[in-house]
Amino acid sequence: MPKILGNLMIRLGDRITLSGEQVWCACGDSRPKDLIIGSDSYVGFGVEIFVGTEVIVGEHVLIANHVLINGYDGHPTDPLARARGEGPGESGCGPIHIGDYAWIGSKAIILKRVKIGRGAIVASGSVVTNDVPELAIVAGNPARIVRTLERPAEWQ
């Protein structure tokens, strides 16, 4: 079972696999934050999900071990505001959406306001700061498209 912190509204689909220790956290103010994980998805050991506004994981998604899904900055960029212990404000949090059939490699980091398209692959150790198109393979820091997969014939 994951360690759940904060005012987190969790909706899980059917046949989800949660592998070992995980942390799921609602960040920022006390308003409820949404975490949705679709059916037939897998969430690996050591995954940390920090929900700034919402995190939506589609169906048939594979999230490997030690992935960080971070929709919340934690601190403001202004050094004096940080010294005063202020939060990052509205600009420091945002949604993360991971499309159906996506695969997130181990130790990848996905940051706020990112959408990962259906069937996309995020290579191990990548840092995703921008949207990833459907069926794209991204790698690196920051993650860049290295290849595009063929569209499966069964997809509409």
Give the residue numbers annotated as catalytic, written as ranges.
75
Q: Are the CB atoms for 145 and 128 separated by under 8 Å?
A: no
Please state the φ and ψ torsions of residue 104, each to the nearest 5 degrees. -110, 115
Say if CB 98 and CB 104 are below 8 A apart: yes
Tell me the CA end-to-end span of the chain in Å, nearest whole number: 36
The widest CA-to-CA distance across the chain, in whole angstroms, is 55
Q: How far is CA 64 from the centre of its chain?
A: 12
Q: How many CB atoms lie within 10 A of CB 30?
A: 8
The two structure tokens encoding residue 155: 């997809």
φ, ψ of residue 80 to 5 degrees: the values are -70, -40
Per the CB < 8 A criterion, the answer to whether 55 and 6 are in contact is no
